[in-house]
Structure 1
């Protein structure tokens, strides 16, 4: 009679939260419970693996991949874990587990309350339980998006309220109310900008004299004033999420200004460019749409952080002047910088640059070599133009990026989210 192979278990514990303290407590709890179970039932544990990582996406967990590799290499042939959803919440990872069972390399899965072997009924139950976990994940995502959309349709903007307003939770309802300490200053700032044509610096000086601060207690900058004067939320409208194609909603909050005053401030900015500071879109003249050959334009969006500070996001998209239905999607500047860097690394020999840009490239390369030599750092440098591009796209100023884009050629096109040489 053929003897059954001995079972060698790998104890696997996982927690998906990113909080270190909660991770440690939860994983320790799983490990302690399963160690006790192994001792009571005489199970042989040959290794323990643990990680804090979401199981939503397939193949993204490094420790879980190590678990699968150990099974494939026959370092152990059984898994001990708290519950089936610790192993998988997606079809890809579940398929890997079932494949190992079919190959006879995973003989036994033991959870706190169930066992699974290479038996059709038990494998089917395992797949049902893991699929149920995936369904819960998918439904949770759908429900979160639906809840956010419903909140927007009710007129309540998600996230931190702009300066001049406050987030409030009352009787189970989260809403946005006027900040009694800051709202009057915001209204008056709009009035001074629109009716009296005050500059951003003059408004800042006035606000500083009044002791006006953000929620962190710090004076606001001129750039923050620019954002405030450009935010439709103050007259009762908002866009969510903050992207070019996102829908607009009518807010349920109390407006601090009228639509007419807001429009007047925008007109004032348009007639006196540079009053608040001009917008910079470094790569607008470098790109064409690869689908319809129209120009690529750019626009910026601003997000209010919890401190009351504001972060600027820049998006590039097809103007759709040649094809109103052009399907080329927008790309944010951070992603565009990655695309440009990768493209130049691959095609720098085909790109022509002006003498002015070449002078900057050579100066940067010389400085970099000097620093490496001084500090005795053994590092191989790439092509001087590639090194300069990496510096400018990662750490350069807006003016350096603009100079780079305007002094190189030929023109590029973006198609299906990828860069190519412009061919039309």
Structure 2
């Protein structure tokens, strides 16, 4: 059925509640190791990558043809995983250990038999393997960013002029195509830079969201389900931070 390794992992964990001999859930890495193990069709290589193949004494449980099809799908799966871009990765710094913030897909089996898909963001733990920063769902992260937009100076948006141009184009569309007065909407505050930026966070494409946050003049800090901006301190002539 051309399932990805992650889909197989979620099927085993959530649908079948599969456990190993140690009564633990199989890890995603474990799934990939199984799919890449030639022992299941009866041969093995020793040492690894030596080109020396041996036939095992055990009975194969799959054919060589099925194994090869699995390898083709694994390569496709790897390409998809490498090319997948989440909306907010590489844009935040962990508020505890200063590592980056990564994302991963999560699936949950619902009572009605369907499976819900979520995206969670969390510390990469590159600087501290025991970092205690909490995970946050993408919807919650967007809500935090929307609140942040209400608090910051509008000049913090490095792409302010581009947003203004987009709003002008929208007003022109209203006037020419819909016959309405775009100025009225602007005066009432229904459409402005701040609300348009919020719209991009909620409904924009991945590239639009990344461009918006990537152009902020200060660094985004994520800590325990809250987001704030870290203002860069000015550097004096001696190269030291000005703390006054």
Q: What's the TM-score once normalised by structure 2's chain length?
A: 0.59
In 2, are the aligned partners of 1:281 and 1:402 still within 8 Å (CA)?
no
2:86 to 281, 293, 297: 281
Inter-partner Cα distance in structure 2 for 1:313 and 1:305: 13
1:366 to 165, 168, 190: 168
Change (3 A) 1:371 1:420: same
In 2, are the aligned partners of 1:239 and 1:249 still within 8 Å (CA)?
no
Within a 5 Å distance, the mapping from 1:161-172 to structure 2 comes to none
Q: Which residue of the partner structure matches residue 412 of structure 1?
A: 220
2:152 to 347, 368, 388: 347
Q: Which residue of the partner structure matches residue 293 of structure 1?
A: 98
Matched, 1:318 2:123: yes
Cα deviation code 1:17-72 (max 9, x no counterpart): xxxxxxxxxxxxxxxxxxxxxxxxxxxxxxxxxxxxxxxxxxxxxxxxxxxxxxxx
Q: Which residue of the partner structure matches residue 30 of structure 1?
A: none
Q: Which residue of the partner structure matches residue 399 of structure 1?
A: 207
In 2, are the aligned partners of 1:410 and 1:421 still within 8 Å (CA)?
yes
Q: Which residue of the partner structure matches residue 194 of structure 2?
A: 386
Change (3 A) 1:322 1:341: same
User: What is the aligned-residue RMSD (CA, Å)?
Assistant: 3.8
Matched, 1:238 2:13: yes
Cα deviation code 1:205-256 (max 9, x no counterpart): xxxxxxxxxxxxxxxxxxxxxxx5531348x73159xxxxxx9636xxxxxx
Tell me how far 1:420 sits from its aligned partner.
1.4
Tell me how far 1:328 sits from its aligned partner.
0.9
- Higher-Rg member (1/2): 1
Within a 5 Å distance, the mapping from 1:261-272 to structure 2 comes to 265-270=73-78
In 1, are the aligned partners of 2:101 and 2:124 still within 8 Å (CA)?
yes
Number of aligned positions between the proteins: 181
Tell me how far 1:337 sits from its aligned partner.
0.7
In 2, are the aligned partners of 1:315 and 1:330 still within 8 Å (CA)?
yes
- Secondary structure at the counterpart of residue 284 of structure 1: coil
Unpaired runs of at least 5, structure 1: 1-185, 191-227, 241-246, 251-257
In 1, are the aligned partners of 2:5 and 2:77 still within 8 Å (CA)?
no
Inter-partner Cα distance in structure 2 for 1:311 and 1:278: 23
Change (3 A) 1:309 1:376: farther
Higher relative contact order (CA 8 A, sep 6+): 2
Within a 5 Å distance, the mapping from 1:113-152 to structure 2 comes to none
Cα deviation code 1:396-419 (max 9, x no counterpart): 122221222223331110123211
Tell me how far 1:381 sits from its aligned partner.
1.5
Inter-partner Cα distance in structure 2 for 1:423 and 1:312: 35
- Secondary structure at the counterpart of residue 25 of structure 2: strand
In 1, are the aligned partners of 2:14 and 2:109 still within 8 Å (CA)?
no
Tell me how far 1:345 sits from its aligned partner.
1.6
Unpaired runs of at least 5, structure 2: 16-22, 27-33, 37-66, 233-244
Change (3 A) 1:375 1:423: closer
In 1, are the aligned partners of 2:218 and 2:231 still within 8 Å (CA)?
no
Tell me how far 1:316 sits from its aligned partner.
0.9
Within a 5 Å distance, the mapping from 1:326-345 to structure 2 comes to 326-345=131-150
